[in-house]
Amino acid sequence: MTLRELGIGKSGRIVHVGGDKALRRRLLDMGLTPRTAVTVRNAAPMGDPIELRLRGYTLTLRLEDAAKITVEEDAP
């Protein structure tokens, strides 16, 4: 599943970060690295962007970019 598909309030771990070379580097630089725990906290009124919580800070990410990140959802 991708980070884009992870529902609001759900948590998971990043498995893979894809995208073209520049996008991948930018996502990794923002802390979206494999094995990082991430929680989807909220979404904008139209659904894009989404608000994430990871590594002790909040990050806002466009759905287009979130679709490039593969995650494994945590068990309920």
pLDDT band at residue 75 using 50, 70 and 90 as cut-offs: confident
d(CA 19, CA 68): 6
Average pLDDT, rounded, for the chain: 94
Rounded alpha-carbon distances, angstroms, from residue 2 to 13, 33, 40, 58, 65: 11, 14, 12, 19, 10
User: In this model, does residue 47 exceed pLDDT 90?
Assistant: no
pLDDT band at residue 74 using 50, 70 and 90 as cut-offs: confident
The token pair at 39 is: 């929680």
Nearest to 59 by CA among 3, 1, 18, 15: 3
User: In this model, does residue 21 exceed pLDDT 90?
Assistant: yes
Percentage of residues in the chain with pLDDT exceeding 90? 88
The token pair at 8 is: 């609001």
Q: Which residues contact 45 (CB under 8 A, 6 or more apart)?
A: none
This prediction's pTM: 0.89
